[in-house]
Amino acid sequence: MVIVLEKNIREDDKQRIRSFLEKRSLKVNEIAGEEETIFGAVGKLSLDPREVEILPGVQRVIPISKPYKMASREFKRENTVVEVRGVKIGGSRISVIAGPCAVENREQIFEAARCVAESGAVMLRGGAYKPRTSPYAFQGLGAEGVKLLREAGDAYGLPVVTEIVSADYIPEMIDYVDVYQVGARNMQNFELLKKLGALGKPVILKRGLSATIEEWLMAAEYLLSSGTNDVILCERGIRTYEKATRNTLDLSAIPVVRSLTHLPIIVDPSHAVGIRDKVPPMGLAGIAAGADGLIVEVHPCPECAMSDGAQSLYPEQFEKMMRDIEVLAPVVGRAVSRRAVKAFKASGSPSQPETASKSPSAESVADYIRRKGGAVCAYSGNQGAFADQAITCYFDNAVSKLPVNSFQKVIEAVIDGNADFGMLPIENSLAGSVYENYDNLSLYEDIEIVGSVTIRVEHSLLAVKGADLDTIKTVYSHPQPFVQCAEFLARHPEWKHVETESTGTAARIVAESGDISNAAIASDVTGPLYHLEVLKTGIETNPLNYTRFVIVAKKGAVVCPVPNFSAVIFTAANEPGSLYKALGLFTKYGLNLTKLESRPIHGEPWRYRFYANIALPSGVAASAVSSERIRSAVNELQTKAVEDNIVEDVRILGLYDSTATV
């Protein structure tokens, strides 16, 4: 049963409830959520909930109706996020785990780790004890394989996951493994589950070949009730009558599992389909269905693989799939989890990450937050605004949010030190550039761009309980959503439009009015925040509506070790051919000029400042060598081009990794 405690419960009352339950042989787990603190009590004996309900400090008691208790949504409403050495599985991110089926030798696993890290995997997989169907097939390198996996993971900054086939191997694995994988064939090896759970380490629990969802969750219950809180479910295909694929990927399990349990769920498209070319489409389908991530087999040379070669992706195929996931992620309201890629020498041997800035104190965004034990990010608007969602996408919950009421105030908060970061919208896929922020970036020289994140903008019409489309008379929103929802609004010409400073503010006004004739256009996430109901969702005219935000910080505070993107402002000299020569520089370094925008220079009529976005062309993997191109081009623009009087006033707005998240 779940015991919801009173908000201001006294410590001694809490203790009394705990011992009451423990005396009745119930195992008690305390879960402090954002909204409330609960005790989850599970055990063999049944207890009358009324006996607990009357104890001082108890708000209410909810019996758990499912046979799995700790794994059920009733036990814990909030999604569980499993954190493994800074990598999170679950929450607002999509995390991709990749690597070969088996560790075969040092060279192979290092090469695999390099490829998958460069393409954006956040964890390395590789089997060392292989549960093969045939006793004559390659059985894995055993303890030696586990050590090699760890070395390769460490070299490329990736935590490691490997399969455990028997509890007997725990002693030789424990010092090297971050996440244990329980394979499909062992899902119901309850002795293994109990011993593994007792380690308290994260476990990926694959679904058995013919296990029902309930059996799978019961297996998770074994792990949870034995002592670990960190269980990741993995759908890897089930056995059906179909022979065209190795198994049948049960995509419907994802939304079903999502509603039954708080545990994160990932998809293994490799073992599901068994055929290389079919893996990326099913991986993408898994993400579209709402999975928290993927685990994928990638081999530097699939033809030479000692196991599962036919389903292992070529590194290029994996890179392409990662890029496709990047495009899909905002559609499902998520960001792709990325580790800051360490810099490596061209030879492939790992080296220390290089730093871009001369300042020895400069560090990456993630390191900065880690060192400070948290940070603050300012944004314009109220809770539920799109900038608020962008912060969650980029930082997850690593920062606290500071709402202010203008873009300028966001920048001032960063400069004054009231915030470490600021989240500013810079362009919208339909409405174009947010000029105010382009001008702000050129005006405030003490800040720079350290990252970016794109979110899908989906608008809803929200109102208080009891309202419907017929009761509405006035609609509140930011000016942009009024434009973006023009087609829907044209169907209701009688509605009055009132502009607010953000969509969050609109929602707040409507909630405070309590009036059924008012509605707000905002994101549906503002609904629960302001106790509003969604009257209609997806009211934007064009669903391909994305906003790119930039993350700003005080100049020199953080640095990106391997940038792939830069934003520069410059004024071309007032001479024939100067703009042409300036742009030629980007060609010289093989860079992609992805955007060129001009803005009038205040006080100098008919002269313009150019804003350029420059990127490493797609397909160039992030590495010290390739990112050096971007740095050299920017340096040359700043030094030689100024000396040669091609450009004046060059300012680098930022040199960052456009795909990284914290």
Binding site for ligand PEP (CB under 6 A): 101, 127, 131, 163, 183-185, 206, 236, 268, 271
Nearest distance from C-beta of residue 134 to ligand PEP, angstroms: 13
Residue 236 touches which of ligand PEP, Mn ion, none (CB < 5 to 8 A by kind)? ligand PEP
> Binding segment for Mn ion among 159-167, 303-311, 353-361, 649-657 (CB under 5 A)?
303-311
Residue 201 interaction partner, one of ligand PEP, Mn ion, none, beta carbon < 5-8 Å per kind: none
Number of residues that bind Mn ion (CB under 5 A): 2
Q: Compute the distance between CA of residue 196 and CA of residue 219 in angstroms, rounded to an integer.
A: 12
Q: Of 190 and 580, which CB lies nearer to ligand PEP in the complex structure?
A: 190
Smaller CB separation from ligand PEP, 173 or 511: 173
Q: Which helix (H) or strand (E) holds 572?
A: strand 565-572
Give which of ligand PEP, Mn ion, none residue 582 binds (C-beta under 5 to 8 Å, depending on kind).
Answer: none
Q: Output the CA torsion sign for 630, 635, 640, 645.
A: positive
Does residue 308 belong to the site contacting Mn ion (CB under 5 A)? yes
Q: Which residue is nearest to ligand PEP (CB)?
A: 183
CB nearer to ligand PEP: pick between 97 and 402: 97
Interaction with Mn ion in 344-403: which residues (CB under 5 A)? Answer: none
Q: With respect to ligand PEP, which residue has the nearer C-beta, 206 or 342?
A: 206
Q: Among the candidate windows 93-101, 251-259, 388-396, 499-507, which touches Mn ion by CB under 5 A?
A: 93-101
Closest by CA to 364, choosing from 122, 661, 121, is 661
Q: Which is nearer to ligand PEP, 249 or 559 (CB)?
A: 249
Cβ-closest position to Mn ion: 101
Work out which of 101, 146, 196, 378 binds Mn ion, going by CB under 5 A: 101
245 is catalytic: no
Residue 335's nearest CA partner among 452, 443, 506, 230 is 452
Smallest separation, CB 38 to ligand PEP (Å): 33
Q: To which H or E segment does residue 173 belong? A: helix 170-173
* Nearer of residues 185 and 536 to Mn ion, judged by Cβ: 185
Nearer to ligand PEP, 125 or 609 (CB): 125
For residue 549, indicate whether it is catalytic. Answer: yes
Of 80, 228, 505, 547, the catalytic one is: 547
Task: Tell me which stretch binds Mn ion (CB under 5 A): 95-103, 218-226, 463-471, 542-550.
Answer: 95-103
In 3-state terms, the chain is what percent helix, strand and coil (to 5)?
35, 25, 40
What Å distances lie between residue 259 and 80, 252, 264, CA to CA? 13, 12, 11
Question: Which residues within the stretch 406-435 sit at the binding site for Mn ion (CB under 5 A)?
Answer: none
Q: 92 or 181: whose CB is closer to ligand PEP?
A: 181
Q: In whole angstroms, what is the distance from residue 212 CA to residue 607 CA?
A: 68
Nearer to ligand PEP, 314 or 495 (CB): 314
Question: What contacts 24+ positions apart, CB below 8 Å, involve 363-367?
Answer: 363/558, 363/559, 364/340, 364/558, 364/559, 364/560, 364/561, 365/340, 365/421, 365/450, 365/451, 365/551, 365/553, 365/558, 365/560, 365/660, 365/662, 366/86, 366/340, 366/398, 366/662, 367/558
Between 127 and 350, name the residue whose CB sits nearer to ligand PEP. 127
Shortest distance in whole angstroms from residue 206 CB to ligand PEP: 4
Closest separation between CB of residue 250 and ligand PEP, Å?
13
Give the 3-state secondary structure of residue 613: strand
221 binds, among Mn ion, ligand PEP, none (CB under 5 to 8 A by kind): none
In the complex, least distance from residue 127 CB atom to ligand PEP, rounded to whole angstroms? 5
Long-range contacts from 600-603, C-beta under 8 angstroms, 24+ separation: 601/571
Q: Could you tell me how far CA 215 lies from the centroid of its own chain? A: 29
Rule CB under 5 A: is residue 163 a binding residue for Mn ion? no
Is 273 among the residues that bind Mn ion (CB under 5 A)? no
Tokens for 240, please give them.
């059906």
549, 565, 570, 586: which one is catalytic? 549
CB of 87 to ligand PEP, least distance (A): 18
For residue 95, the SS3 value is strand
Residue 148 tokens, joined: 């090699």
Q: Which CB sits closer to ligand PEP, 129 or 530?
A: 129
Question: Which entry of Mn ion, ligand PEP, none binds 183, CB below 5 to 8 A by partner kind?
Answer: ligand PEP
For 88, the enclosing helix (H) or strand (E) is strand 87-89
Q: SS3 for 254-272, per residue?
A: HHHHHHHECCCEEECHHHH
Question: Taking the complex as a whole, how short is the minimal distance between the CB of residue 306 and ligand PEP, in angstroms?
Answer: 12
Binding-site partner at residue 104 among ligand PEP, Mn ion, none, CB < 5 to 8 Å by type: none
Handedness of CA 537, 540, 545, 548 (dihedral sign): negative
For residue 161, give both structure tokens.
């996951």
Span from 300-308, 394-402, 465-473, 643-651 in contact with Mn ion (CB under 5 A): 300-308
Nearest to 367 by CA among 547, 558, 148: 558
Could you tell which of Mn ion, ligand PEP, none binds residue 206, using a CB distance below 5 to 8 A set by kind? ligand PEP
Q: How far is the CB of 268 from Mn ion (least distance, A)?
A: 9
Give the closest residue to 230 by CA, choosing from 199, 192, 203.
203
Helices and strands in the chain, H and E counts = 22, 30
Q: Which DSSP symbol is given to 611?
A: E
Asked if 573 is part of the footprint of Mn ion (rule: CB under 5 A), the reply reads no
Residue 292 touches which of Mn ion, ligand PEP, none (Cβ within 5-8 Å per kind): none
Q: How many other β-carbons are positioned within 10 Å of the β-carbon of residue 611?
A: 22
Structure tokens at 319: 């890179």
Residue 184: which of ligand PEP, Mn ion, none does it interact with, CB under 5 to 8 A by kind?
A: ligand PEP
Yes or no: say if 320 and 280 are a contact pair by the CB < 8 Å rule.
Answer: yes
CB of 271 to ligand PEP, least distance (A): 4
CB of 210 to ligand PEP, least distance (A): 13
Is residue 433 within a helix (H) or strand (E), and if so which, with residue range?
Answer: strand 432-433
CB of 197 to ligand PEP, least distance (A): 18
Segment (H or E) for 231: strand 231-235
76 and 262 Cβ atoms separated by less than 8 Å: yes
User: Which residues here bind Mn ion, judged by CB under 5 A?
Assistant: 101, 308
Catalytic residues: 547, 549
